[in-house]
Amino acid sequence: MAKTQPITTMIVGLGRIGWDLHIKQAAANPHFKVTAAVDALPERRKEAEETFGCATFATLEEALKANIAELAVICTRSVDHCPHTLAALKAGCHVFVEKPAAMSVKEMDKMIAAAKKAKKVLTVNQSARANVDLRFVRETIDSKILGKVFWIRASTQTFFRRNDWQQLKKFGGGYLNNNGVHAIDGALRLIDSPVESVWGDLKHTVTAGDADDWLKVVLRGKNGRVIEVEQSYACAFPQPRWLVCGTAGSMQITGEEATIKFFDPKKAPKLTVVTTAPAGRKYGNDDRLPWEEKTVPVKATKPFPDYYEELFKAIRKKKQPFVTPESVRETIWALDQVRKSSLWKY
């Protein structure tokens, strides 16, 4: 059997994510060969040339004209993701784009249409789908230990007067686009239903710049499940990362451990409604549930696929992308709904 040729790859943008993650992962994977890197800063281009022995370019346009890569990995500023993806697809490249894939559903639809027209793979680095706590919550829900789960709250709180480009609207910055896109995408992996409604609010509080640094989002599924996402750079008190409530118990995650309080409904005493006047005009009863409680490490039992291995399969073996652009479109749609409902306008 003939050896499969490695996928020639260009990394577009050598900032934190492009350098620390993508170019290193692509270079380390035998299915990929880094042939080009793009960055406006000459010192970054020189570093890429010396470290990876690849050609470098100051602009994506120059790199695409050189025609030395089958795959473009887009790691530029958020606001550039759509135009850079469209340019790469038009030039005949497959595209792996960082989150947020687009600034709106309108942009995402253009990208999906362009990929279909070019007959190229388009996928997105929704990397937080691999997060252990999200996978652990998923496995806990599936175990039914909490009964029917009806409410989930995911919270990320700190006090951080952030002042980099991610705090500027003109670059597509803000908590919603930067971290909120991960949390909302995660919520959609847990809602187990078509989404019935999305409400959200954004604020700019303590960071430099003019983009949002606080958000509250409520997603409601047609199955009735409600998931709240709370994220802030303006809360000085840590909050539980996860709260999951079901009809037979609750789970809270703080740090690296989860505390689960639950009972077996089959062992619970039968409860009936009392329709007569309460004795002594007092409410309450002597209901005694067979509660159990355990604290366990937050670990997922099922392995998670490697994004670059899945990308190789999508390009060379014609498999469906591990992260489909259609699934990301749903996430981008939810972000649009948050912006529409927020009193503070993006």
CA distance 257 to 237: 18
Mean pLDDT on 156-181: 96
Lowest mean pLDDT segment, chosen from 58-62, 127-131, 149-153, 277-281:
277-281
Residue 3 reports pLDDT greater than 80: no
Stretch(es) of the chain classified as CATH 3.30.360.10: 129-304
User: What CATH code would you report for 129-304?
Assistant: 3.30.360.10
304: pLDDT strictly greater than 50: yes
28, 51 Cβ separation under 8 angstroms: no
- pLDDT surpasses 90 at 280: no
pLDDT at 2 over 80: no
Least confident of 90-99, 142-151, 234-243, 280-289: 280-289
Crossing angle for the helix pair 181-190 and 132-143, to the nearest 10 degrees: 20
pLDDT of residue 278: 84
Radius of gyration of the chain (CA): 24
β 242-246/149-157 pair status: antiparallel
* Secondary structure class of 271 (helix, strand, coil): coil
- The encoded tokens of residue 253 equal 């995650």
Mean pLDDT, residues 281-294: 90
CATH 3.40.50.720 domain residues, the chain: 7-125+305-333
Which CATH topology does 7-125+305-333 take? Rossmann fold (3.40.50)
**Nearest residue to 52 via CA among 79, 28, 34:** 34
Q: What kind and span of H or E run contains 264? A: none
Confidence of residue 284 (pLDDT cuts 50, 70, 90): confident
Give the tokens for residue 239: 């909050």
Region 66-83: what's the mean pLDDT?
98
pLDDT at 110 over 50: yes
pLDDT tens track for 235-273: 999 899 999 999 999 999 999 999 999 999 999 999 888
Mean pLDDT of 282-297: 92
Tokens, residue 201 = 């609010």
User: What is the C-alpha separation between 37 and 60, in angstroms, rounded?
Assistant: 9
